[in-house]
Amino acid sequence: AQSVTQPDIHITVSEGASLELRCNYSYGATPYLFWYVQSPGQGLQLLLKYFSGDTLVQGIKGFEAEFKRSQSSFNLRKPSVHWSDAAEYFCAVARGSTLGRLYFGRGTQLTVWP
């Protein structure tokens, strides 16, 4: 069963516009949640993660994400997108007794118009 859903395959925004990438998970208890970014031809880099505590987490490169238990969501946001943010973004979860094993969403490709 799909643990992580990223509903948007491709998003296009203008430089300077705000951004929100959606992520929903299916798991009864609170999972460990991650957002990774992949630039073309590169491996994945961690943007931020949520384990517990404050539901708004800050990450690198000006990104933040908010955990909403009631909506089973962990959406990624950035107030003002830069052209260098164009990349593919992956939401991932680790859960229960297999905390070391990540289950990835299918990714959202972000295009930034100048």
Partner 1 sequence: IAGITQAPTSQILAAGRRMTLRCTQDMRHNAMYWYRQDLGLGLRLIHYSNTAGTTGKGEVPDGYSVSRANTDDFPLTLASAVPSQTSVYFCASSEDSLRGNEQFFGPGTRLTVL
Nearer to partner 1, 68 or 106 (CB): 106
- Min CB(19)–partner 1 separation in Å: 19
The SS3 call for residue 107 is coil
- Min CB(27)–partner 1 separation in Å: 13
Buried b / exposed e over 45-73, threshold 16 CB at 10 Å, is: eebbbbeeeeeebebeeebbbbbeeeebb
- What's the residue count for the chain? 114
Whether 88 and 108 have beta carbons less than 8 Å apart is answered as: yes
Nearer to partner 1, 59 or 112 (CB): 59
- Min CB(14)–partner 1 separation in Å: 26
Whether 92 and 100 have beta carbons less than 8 Å apart is answered as: no
- Min CB(113)–partner 1 separation in Å: 23
Nearer to partner 1, 105 or 110 (CB): 105
Which residue in this structure is represented by tokens 């959606």? Answer: 22
Nearer to partner 1, 15 or 44 (CB): 44
Which residues make up the interface to partner 1 (CB under 8 A)? 6, 9, 32, 34, 36, 42-46, 49, 51, 90, 94, 99-107
